Structure 1
Amino acid sequence: MNKAALNFSRIFVGILFIFSGLIKANDPLGFGYKLEEYFDVFHISVFSPYATGIAIFLCVLEIVLGALLLFGFWSKKVSTGLLGIIIFFTFLTFVSAAFKVVTSCGCFGDAIPLTPWQSFSKDLILLVLIVYLFINRNKILPLTTNPGQQKIGLIAVVALAVIFSIYTYTYLPVLDFLPYKKGASLPEAMKIPAGAEPDLYLIMYKLKNKATGETKEMSDKDYLKTEIWKDNNWEIVGQPVQKLLKKGYEAKIKDLVISDASGTDYTKELIENPYYNILIVAYNLNHTDEDAIGKLNAMTLDLTEQFNIRTVLLTSNSAQDAAVFSKQHKLFAEIFYADAVPLKSMVRANPGIVLMKNGVVINKWSYQSLPSLEKLKATYFNK
C-alpha cells in the first residue's frame, strides 16, 4: 500500500511538473508577461527587464525536476527542490486569491486558465503529495544507479528543455492557445451571440445611521424593497460597489480597440479588410527591434507597390512617440494605436507580423522567423 501511494505520488507530481513546464515553455514570453504582473504587485519591478529570462529558467527547472523525480535520480535533492518550489508557489497563489492582485496565475499558460482559488487548491494538493514524497525520499528507487548514466539523463533533459524554450521564444509558440491564432476569425471572436446573458451584478450600498452611528451594507434591491431610503436617519456613504453574482458570456476577444492618433475607432475597418493586409505589431516602440522594423518597412513597401497590400503598424505608444519613431525610421506603414494587452496576445514578438484576409489570421511570424519576400509572394500573393 505504501509503495503504491509513493509510486502514485511520484508519477503524478512528476508528470504534472513536466506538463506545467512544457505548457509555459511553449510560450515563454507570455509567461514572462505574467511574471511582470507579479513583480509589479510585490513592488520588485527591478526584475521586469529580466522577466523572460526568469520565465525560461523556471520552465526548465519545472521540467527537469519533474523528469528527475520520474527517473528517481538524486531523490533527496529533487524532493527538497520540489518542496521549496511548491511552498513558494502556494504562498504566491494564496496571496493572489486572497487579495485579488493577479486574476490568473499562469500555472498552465493560456492552455488551461485557472482562477486564483483554483490555482491555490491545485498547489495545496501538490503540497500534500510533495511533503509525502519528501518524508519518504529515501524510499524512491532510481531507474539506474550508474552515475554516468544519471548525468547523461540530466544533461539530455536540460538540453531539450532549454532548446524548446529558446525555439518557441524565437519562432512563436508551437501551439497557440490565444484567440489570435492562425485560422482564427477576429470579427467572430469579438462577437457576443444574440440572447447571450451578460455579467450579472449586485450593487452594494454602505449605509450609516446619522442618529446612532450604526453602519450596514445593503444591496440595491433590498434598499428599495425595505424602503429604508424613506428614513432620513439613514444615508449612503462612500461609492456603491458592484458585486459579481454570475459570470455571463465573454467574447474571446473583448479588449481590442484600434484607433488613430485622434481617437477615431478603426477596429472594424482594419480587422474586416476583405483583402490581404499586414499588421506589424510593435506594442512597445522603445524596445522593438529597429533592424527588423527597417527590413519590414522595405518589404511592405515592395508588397504594396506590387500587390496593393495595406500595411499598418499597431503600437501602444503615444501618438507623439510614434510620430518621432515614424520620422526617424521613415515608416511607410500607417500607424494605429491599441492597448498593450491585446497587442501582446496578438503575436508574441516585438515586432511581430500578422497576415490577414477578410478578418481571418492567415499566418503570423516573429520578426526573427519572417519568410523571404519571394516565399511570401509565391505562397500568398502570386496565386
Structure 2
Amino acid sequence: MKTLVHIARFLVGALFIFSGFIKLNDPLGFSYKLQEYFAPEVLNLEFLSPYALLISIILVIVEVLLGIALLIGYRKKVTLWLLLAMILFFTFLTFYSAYFNKVTDCGCFGDAIPLVPWESFIKDLILLVLILFLFAFQKHIQPIVKNTIVQNSVMFLSFTACMCFGYYVLMHLPWLDFRAYKVGSNIAENMKIPEGAPEAIFEYHWKFNVNGEEKVITTSGGYPQVEGEYISYETEQIQEGYIPPVHDFTIEKGDDNFTTTFMEKENLIIIVAYNIDKTEREGYTNIKKIAEEAIRKGYTVIGLTSSSPSVHEKFVRDYKLPFEFYYTDETTLKTIVRASPGIVSLDKGTILQKLHYNDADDLILNTLPSAQPYLDFSLKFQLDSIAVLDQKYRKLMQVPEGPDRKALGESMGLGVEDYSGNLWERQIALDTSNLRKIESILNTRGYPGKTLVGTPTNTAAWYVIQHSNKIPEYLDLMKKAGKAGELPFRLVAMMEDRYLMGEGKPQIYGTQGMTYNNGTPFIWPIENPEEVNKRRKEAGFDTTIEAYAKDLFGEDFKFKNLSLEEAEALRIASIQQTP
C-alpha cells in the first residue's frame, strides 16, 4: 500500500507541476481560455473577464506549488484538501465543456498537448480517483525532509521562481512556443492540406411528414426521394476531416485579400495589435522606432489588427506610425504572438523572429539593396496629412449629393455638416493652407522626393501644386525631380501639359482634355502629334493617346488632333451659344 501511495503521489504531483508549468509558460494563453469559459454562452461570468489574467496567474502558480508540496510532503492535509478542491473545479469545467460542447479545447496543457473536452474530463476523473486514494491512505505520505525550515525554504523558493518566471514571460514572450506560428514554421505551408488527407464525413437526417407520421431518412448529402411533406433536417459529423495547423489566417483590407501577396514577400515585418482599444500604448515608442529603422533598411512593414478601419486609421495618425494596418481575426492574432503590440519577422511566409514590444531592439535587421537611409518620417507624416486634406472634398464632390455622398462621407468618418453644403469652398480653404505648407517645404528643402519621403508620399507636393496657380513657379523644380527619379515622370508630363494649355500653347504628351460650356469635348492641341505616343511611352504612360482619349471622354470618342486655331474656334462658338 505504501508503494501504491508513493506512485499515486508522484503521478499527481508531477502532473500538477507539468500542467501548471505549461500554463505558467503562457499565462496570457490560459487567460484567453478562461475568458472563453467566462463568456455569456458558457458560464455567463463575464464580470470576471477583466481579471482573467490575474486569475490565470494565481491558478497556475497554486497548481505548481500544490504539486511540489505533495512531492515533498509539505503540510499534507492542507495540500490534499486544496488538491481535491482544485481537481473538483477542473472536473466540473471539463465535464461542462464536454457535455454541452461549449469550449472545444480545455487548455489543461496549453498548446503543448491539446485535448478535446472528453479527454480532459477522463484525465481529471483519473486524477480525482488518485487524490481520493491519497486522502484515504494519507498516513503513508511522509515528508521527504522533516526539517520545517528546509520545507518552508523549498516552498518559498518555488513560489519566488514561479513569480519571476511568470513575470518574465509576460514582459517578453513564452519561453517555449508550441503553436503553429512558432519561429521556423512557414505559415503558407502550414495552411496546406496534404494530398489524400481524410475529409470530413457528414450524415444528413431528413425529417418528413409521410401520411401523418413523422419519418427520418438519413443520407450522405443527397435530397431523399420521399413522397411526403418536408419538415427539417439535421447534420451530424461522423468523421472529422484533416484540419491544417493554420486554418484561419488571412490578411485583408476592404474587400481585397492580401494573404498570398504578403506570404510571398521577402523581408516582411508585421506589427500585431489584436485589438487597438486594448493594445499597450506605451509599447509604441519602441514599435515606431523599430518600424522606421526597418523601412529605412528596405523592409516592408505592415500592421495586423481586428479593429475597424476608423479605429486603426485614427490610431496611426495619433501615434504617427509609419505603416498601415490590415485586418486579421482577433483569435488568430492572439495565437500568433502573445503581445499587443508584438513583432513578427518573416521571409516568404517563414517566421524568423517573434518579439514582445519590450524586446523591439533585439529585432535583427540587415541593410537591404532597397534600403532608404535618408527617409525623413516627420516630413513624410506631414506630407501624408496634406495629401489626405488635398483629396478630402474632391473625393466627395465626385459623388452626387444624396445617399451616395452620405455613405462616402460616413465611411470617411465625417459628420453630416462636413459632407454637405458648399464643399468647393471648403476645399479651396484647405488648398490655400496646404499650398503655404508645401511652398515652405519646397523653398527650404527642395522637392520632397522618393529618397526623402518614399512612395507614394513623394507625389503629395506635386498634387498640391497641380491644384494651384503656382505651376509656372515650380515646374522646373518638378522636372528636375522627375529626371532624377524622385517623382514619377508621367506626373511631371501632366503638369507641363497643363502649364502649356494654360499658356495657350500646344501640349507635349496629350494629357489634357477640354470641354467649353458642356460643348464638344476634345484633346487640347498636341505638338508633333505623330510622335506623341513615343513621348508618352518614354514618360511612363501605358496607353496610347487614342486609348487615353477614350478613357477620358468615352468609348465613342475618336481622337483627332486639333490646331490652336480650331480650339479657339470651339471656345468662341461656346461663348456665342451661351444664353
TM-score, L = length of structure 2? 0.61
Q: Which residue of 2 aligns with 1:297?
A: 288
Taking only the aligned residue pairs, the percentage that are identical comes to: 38
CA distance in 1, matches of 2:208, 2:355: 55
User: What does 1:185-196 correspond to in 2, within 5 Å?
Assistant: 185-196=186-197
Following superposition, the deviation at residue 222 of structure 1 comes to 9.5
Larger radius of gyration: 2
User: What does 1:88-237 correspond to in 2, within 5 Å?
Assistant: 88-209=89-210, 211-212=211-212, 214-221=213-220, 227=225, 229=226, 231-232=227-228, 235-237=229-231
The residue type equivalent to 1:101 in the other structure is K
Q: Is the 8 A contact 2:106 2:115 kept in 1?
A: yes
Q: Is the 8 A contact 1:289 1:350 kept in 2?
A: yes
**CA shift in 2, pair 1:337/1:382, >3 Å:** closer
Q: Is the 8 A contact 2:204 2:221 kept in 1?
A: no
CA distance in 2, matches of 1:341, 1:361: 18
Q: Is the 8 A contact 1:355 1:362 kept in 2?
A: yes
SS at 1:313 equivalent: strand
Q: Is the 8 A contact 1:75 1:138 kept in 2?
A: no
Q: Which of 293, 310, 324 matches 1:334? A: 324
Following superposition, the deviation at residue 204 of structure 1 comes to 2.2
Q: Which residue of 1 aligns with 2:10?
A: 11
**CA shift in 2, pair 1:293/1:222, >3 Å:** closer
The residue type equivalent to 2:36 in the other structure is E
The residue type equivalent to 2:100 in the other structure is F
Q: Which residue of 2 aligns with 1:255?
A: 248
Q: Is the 8 A contact 2:344 2:354 kept in 1?
A: yes
Counting matched residue pairs gives: 367
CA distance in 1, matches of 2:101, 2:270: 35
Q: Is the 8 A contact 2:200 2:239 kept in 1?
A: yes
CA distance in 1, matches of 2:312, 2:67: 45
Following superposition, the deviation at residue 194 of structure 1 comes to 2.5
The residue type equivalent to 2:336 in the other structure is M
CA shift digits 1:273-305 (9 cap, x unpaired): 1x2110000001111121222331232123212
Following superposition, the deviation at residue 326 of structure 1 comes to 1.6
**CA shift in 2, pair 1:301/1:5, >3 Å:** same
CA distance in 1, matches of 2:302, 2:72: 51
1:245 aligns with 2:233: no
1:371 aligns with 2:400: no
CA distance in 2, matches of 1:176, 1:241: 39
CA shift digits 1:73-129 (9 cap, x unpaired): 101000110011111111111110000000000000001000110000001111100
Q: Is the 8 A contact 2:31 2:56 kept in 1?
A: yes
Q: Which residue of 2 aligns with 1:325?
A: 315
Q: Which residue of 2 aligns with 1:308?
A: 298
CA shift digits 1:235-259 (9 cap, x unpaired): 3323x33211112221110001110
Q: Is the 8 A contact 2:275 2:307 kept in 1?
A: yes
The residue type equivalent to 2:347 in the other structure is K
Higher relative contact order (CA 8 A, sep 6+): 1
The gaps in structure 2 that reach 5 residues or longer are 370-579
Q: Which residue of 2 aligns with 1:267?
A: 259
SS at 1:280 equivalent: strand
CA distance in 2, matches of 1:94, 1:163: 33
Following superposition, the deviation at residue 223 of structure 1 comes to 7.9
CA distance in 1, matches of 2:184, 2:367: 18
The residue type equivalent to 1:80 in the other structure is W
1:23 aligns with 2:16: no
The residue type equivalent to 2:281 in the other structure is E
CA distance in 2, matches of 1:6, 1:205: 54
Following superposition, the deviation at residue 195 of structure 1 comes to 2.9
CA distance in 2, matches of 1:150, 1:382: 57
Following superposition, the deviation at residue 11 of structure 1 comes to 0.5
Q: Which residue of 1 aligns with 2:74?
A: 73
**CA shift in 2, pair 1:302/1:71, >3 Å:** same
Following superposition, the deviation at residue 215 of structure 1 comes to 3.2
Q: Is the 8 A contact 2:294 2:301 kept in 1?
A: no
The residue type equivalent to 2:316 in the other structure is S
The residue type equivalent to 1:376 in the other structure is I
The gaps in structure 1 that reach 5 residues or longer are none
